[in-house]
Structure formats: C-alpha cells, structure tokens
C-alpha cells in the first residue's frame, strides 16, 4: 500500500511539473506572443538580440524584480513562481529567438564582467565595461566630474568609479537648499522643456526637498525622460519617480 501511495505521489508531482513552455503559455504569452505594450515578441530575433546584449543576468534580474515604469512587473505579476521558474521562462524565450552564436557569445562576455548597474549599462554603448568621455558627453554633470573620478587615470570610468561619481553628484545636489515651491517650479520648467512631453499630466510634490513625480504618461520612455530631465536639479534631496505608463492601465 505504501509503495502504491509513493508511486501515485510521484506520478502526481511529475504530471504537475510545468515545463518552461507551459509556464510561458500560462503566465507570459498574453504579452510576449503578440508583443504588446513594449514586450519583446516571442521569436523576434532582432528584439531579443538587443535585450540579451548586456547579458543573461540582467534579463533574469528584469524578469524577477521587474523594470520600473514599464509593463514588466516583478515575475510578470505571478508571485507564486520561483526564481528558477522565471529563469526557465527567460531561457525558453531566448531559445525561441534562435539567436546566432556570436550574439550569445557577446552576451556571455558581458555577463562575465559582473555588471548589473542598469544606468551604467545604458551608457556603455559599446559594451566594453567602461565609460569613455564620448559616452557621457550628453550629461554635463557626469562629463564635468569625469576627470575627478577617473582615479587610475586610464581615460575611462569603470563601474565603481561611475557609481562613486553618481553618489557625489547626488550629495552635491542635496546639499543645496531650495524652497519647495521654487523646487516644484524648477521641475515643472524642466518637464515643460521636453519636446512633445505631456507635462500637464504630471503632478509634482515637494516636501523638505523630497520630490515626487506622479501621474500617467503614454509609455515607459516618457517616464524615463522625466527622470532624466529632473534628476540633476540642485536642491532635490530625493527624487521619487512614480509616473505610470499608460500601457500598464490597459491590463486593469
């Protein structure tokens, strides 16, 4: 009898063990099969080639923890799934894209650098693991601090040097005291200067220098543009970007 029960239990567990494809179909297909709301479409080689370029670790991190201001919520909104389940789904989607070996090799090479700082990776346009002056020239604050934080004088910033520079810029920004009403006006002006940005949809609050942006914008790109435009404003102690992509509301 005990043997029979053990066999039945093993059969039940095996039968209920979802394959990566089944997990994908149940939890991720509604976005990734049609490729809606910015989700990379299953089998789209071009899109997945871009997503995997910084390495698999970042893809896993995005799927497990989510990406702020996008439709990619933590675990796709399925809290019951384990990290292993999520990684298996990501592996399934990568396999479905049938990426060339050169793309996978390049991703593995970047993975080996151990870099997970999203902002650093966004700036690292040639994916060599270092930031050169040309890669940060659009950000005057970063460019201005380059020589101070290129501590080994090799003409580039590694991850630790970049992070130290960002921390210093935040300290310098927070050290300035600005009246909250004036701070709100400065943030509003910065948003109004962005081309085709729905500035009127954004609510700006400031309490003792702590600034909160809230409201609904068309997509994740607009939420990021707002953050980039305001993050260096002197007097901001903390900046909380709570802007919601309108794409998210389509699923409510």
pTM of the model: 0.82
> Do 123 and 106 share a structural domain?
no
Q: Mean pLDDT in runs of 10 for the chain (252 residues)?
A: 44 56 85 80 92 92 83 83 91 94 95 94 96 97 96 97 98 97 98 96 97 93 95 97 76 48
> Do 140 and 208 share a structural domain?
no
We report the CATH number of the domain holding residue 170 as: 1.10.238.10
Q: Where are the beta strands (DSSP E) in the chain?
A: 202-207, 210-217, 238-245
> Do 48 and 29 share a structural domain?
yes
Round to whole Å and give the CA distance between 1 and 228.
67
> Do 90 and 15 share a structural domain?
yes
Residue indicated by tokens 């810029």? 169
C-beta separation of 165 from 149 below 8 A: yes
**What is the model's pLDDT at position 14?**
39
> Do 131 and 89 share a structural domain?
no
Can you name the residues that pair with 242 across neighbouring β-strands? Answer: 214
> Do 185 and 170 share a structural domain?
no
Round to whole Å and give the CA distance between 185 and 194.
15
We report the CATH number of the domain holding residue 67 as: 1.10.760.10
We report the CATH number of the domain holding residue 232 as: 3.30.1340
> Do 205 and 147 share a structural domain?
no
Domain range for residue 73?
Answer: 2-111
């Amino acid at each position: 009898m005990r043997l029979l029960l053990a066999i039945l239990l093993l059969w039940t567990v095996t039968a209920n063990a979802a394959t990566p494809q089944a997990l994908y179909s149940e939890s991720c297909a509604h976005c990734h099969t049609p490729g809606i709301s910015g989700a990379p479409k299953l089998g789209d080689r071009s899109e997945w080639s871009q997503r995997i370029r910084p390495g698999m670790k970042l893809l896993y991190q995005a799927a497990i923890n989510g990406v702020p201001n996008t439709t990619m919520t933590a675990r796709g909104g399925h809290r019951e799934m384990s990290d292993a389940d999520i990684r298996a789904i990501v592996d399934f989607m990568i396999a479905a894209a049938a990426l060339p070996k050169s793309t996978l090799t390049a991703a593995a090479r970047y993975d080996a650098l151990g870099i997970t700082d999203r902002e650093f990776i966004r700036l690292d346009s040639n994916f060599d693991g270092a930031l050169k002056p040309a890669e940060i020239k659009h950000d005057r604050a970063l460019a201005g601090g380059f020589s101070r934080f290129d501590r080994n004088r090799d003409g580039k910033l590694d991850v630790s040097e970049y992070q130290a520079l960002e921390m210093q810029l935040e300290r310098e920004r927070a050290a300035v005291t600005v009246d909250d009403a004036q701070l709100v006006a400065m943030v509003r002006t910065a948003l109004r200067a962005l081309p085709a940005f729905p500035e009127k949809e954004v609510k700006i609050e400031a309490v003792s220098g702590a600034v909160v942006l809230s409201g609904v914008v068309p997509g994740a790109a607009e939420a990021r543009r707002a953050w980039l435009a305001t993050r260096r404003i002197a007097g901001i102690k903390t900046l909380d970007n709570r802007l919601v992509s309108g794409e998210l509301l389509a699923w409510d």
